[in-house]
Chains A and B, each alone.
Chain A
Amino acid sequence: MSGGGAAPAPDLIDQARIAFDRALQRNIKGIGYFTSPAPVLGASPKDVLIQRGTMNLYHYRPMADEVYRVPLLLVMATTNRGYVFDMVPGQSLVEFLLKAGYDVFMLDWSPPRADEKHLGLADYVLDFIPACVARIAEETGEDELTVVGYCFGGVLSVLWAALHADGPMKNLVCFTTPVDFSRMELFQAWADKRFFDVDRLIDTFGNCPADMLYAAFDLLRPAGRIAGNIRLWDNMWNDDFVKSYRMFDRWTSDMLPLAGQYFRETPRQLIWDNQLMEGGMTVAGRPVDLARITAPFLHVVAEHDHIVPYAASHPLIDKVGSADKEEVVLKGGHVSLVAGANAIRRLWPRLDEWLQERST
């Protein structure tokens, strides 16, 4: 925010002039909005190290002559595309990390194919993440790495970390990662086991359709879309606002289907039985104990997160067994925590500060 004094209040004539000017701009730029292409997202130069069905491992090309020893793996949530971390130049967490001297990899997801409906939680935790970790070790020659998981990517990361406590993880960072699913009240209501027949859903579709997930996320804020469209019209004169709106609108509507078996397991284990919080969580029969995670741990949660409320993510810090652990609560919502102007100002420098001394 500017440190100077408040600008003098415009008089009535000035206000009318500004309103007229903006109305004119809205009409001119409104036409441009519908005729211009959407911004290109996720375009930081990268190499695809693994492309296996739904799993993709990217290695971003370094932007510094010297990097920290410990490579960094971003683990994306399975419901969305990883380009939320790499929107456009100047608004890309990946670019920020590369310029700050990190060697950045990302585990990103493609829509699971029809023949991948059998993929379950065990495939994600005991196959996909270990395959990426092994490939990163091969690529970098380093036997340690930092894992950064976002939302359900964080859940997968903590499950993997707990089951590989003696493994190569040097640091673990989670962004807004749920652990107490009983506090995700709307998801609890919608997945009420008295009415929600997950088996019928998956038997019919094979994989859980992205449209269904999109509708569920949209319903979390039923007035959000209408208010968002009105705000877009109001700010149509403002190029920065429109650019940001288009980026986020494209990302939020670009949801991924979920593999059938994976979608069968998650409501049962996490939403109905709340196993990660209450105990009893297993992956392929192997018991998960989050206290076995002893690597330095940072959990960043958003103050106004409507998808993973603070109450659902906060208990993670107590569950993890690390001596060096910290929870940071930042202003923002589920998405603005990691991308956009709010993230650039708050999360990114905080993350860099925490990682620097732990990445050598």
Chain B
Amino acid sequence: MVSPTPPDPAAFFRDMLGQWENAANEFGANLMKSGEFARTVQGATTISLKAQEAAHEAMSRALAAANMPSRSEVADIAARLQGVEERLARIEALLSALAGDRGAAAPATPARPKPKRTKVPPPRKKPA
């Protein structure tokens, strides 16, 4: 005779969690599809953006008055510096390659052997 399986409260809890998640996701998705939601969220975003623009402008004016660069100007300079560094790295690599071609300097590390490009697919298994 097979003994009855005792109830597993943990399994019940996991099942309930899955059901709640699905229901909440569906409810949330339906809510967010509405025009009202889009209008409210975008309205709030617009207000936030306007506030950030105003703060940014005020800060820029204050920094300009103090003869100091703004955050965006420093970020621009940093980005340009990074660009110059990348360009230098490319020129350096190109020069090394040219020097290597002329035999002026041996490469610091030997080139890794490249695998043969001759692989073919394994034979297909015949259906049983």
Seen from chain A, the residues whose Cβ lies within 8 Å of a Cβ on chain B are 9, 11-12, 15, 19, 51-53, 61-62, 64-69, 101, 103, 113-116, 140, 142, 185-186, 189-190, 192, 194-197, 200-201, 204, 206, 219-224, 227, 230-231, 234, 306, 356-357, 359-360
Decide: A195 and B17 in contact? CB cutoff 8 A: no
- How distant is the Cα of A62 from the Cα of B56 in the complex, in angstroms? 50
B51 nearest in chain A by CB position: A204
B4 nearest in chain A by CB position: A9
Decide: B119 and A195 in contact? CB cutoff 8 A: no
- How distant is the Cα of A201 from the Cα of B49 in the complex, in angstroms? 7
- How distant is the Cα of A101 from the Cα of B21 in the complex, in angstroms? 42
- How distant is the Cα of A223 from the Cα of B24 in the complex, in angstroms? 6
- Most chain-A CB neighbours within 10 Å: which of B24, B118, B119? B119
Listed by A's residue number, 16 A-B pairs whose Cβ atoms lie within 8 Å are A11-B6, A15-B6, A52-B86, A62-B114, A67-B117, A67-B119, A68-B119, A103-B117, A186-B32, A189-B37, A197-B49, A200-B46, A222-B24, A222-B32, A231-B17, A234-B10
A66: which B residues are within 8 A, CB to CB? 115-119
Seen from chain B, the residues whose Cβ lies within 8 Å of a Cβ on chain A are 3, 5-6, 8, 10, 13-14, 17-18, 20-21, 24-25, 28-29, 32-35, 37-39, 41-43, 45-46, 49, 52-53, 56, 72, 75-76, 79-80, 82-83, 86, 89, 112, 114-122
Decide: A12 and B118 in contact? CB cutoff 8 A: no
- How distant is the Cα of A223 from the Cα of B20 in the complex, in angstroms? 8
User: Contacts A113-B79, A196-B42, A223-B28: A189 and B34 contacting too (C-beta < 8 A)?
Assistant: yes
User: Contacts A19-B10, A189-B32, A195-B43: A64 and B21 contacting too (C-beta < 8 A)?
Assistant: no
Decide: B37 and A115 in contact? CB cutoff 8 A: no
B119: which A residues are within 8 A, CB to CB? 64, 66-69, 101, 359-360
Decide: B49 and A224 in contact? CB cutoff 8 A: no
A103: which B residues are within 8 A, CB to CB? 115, 117
- How distant is the Cα of A189 from the Cα of B83 in the complex, in angstroms? 38
Decide: B117 and A68 in contact? CB cutoff 8 A: yes
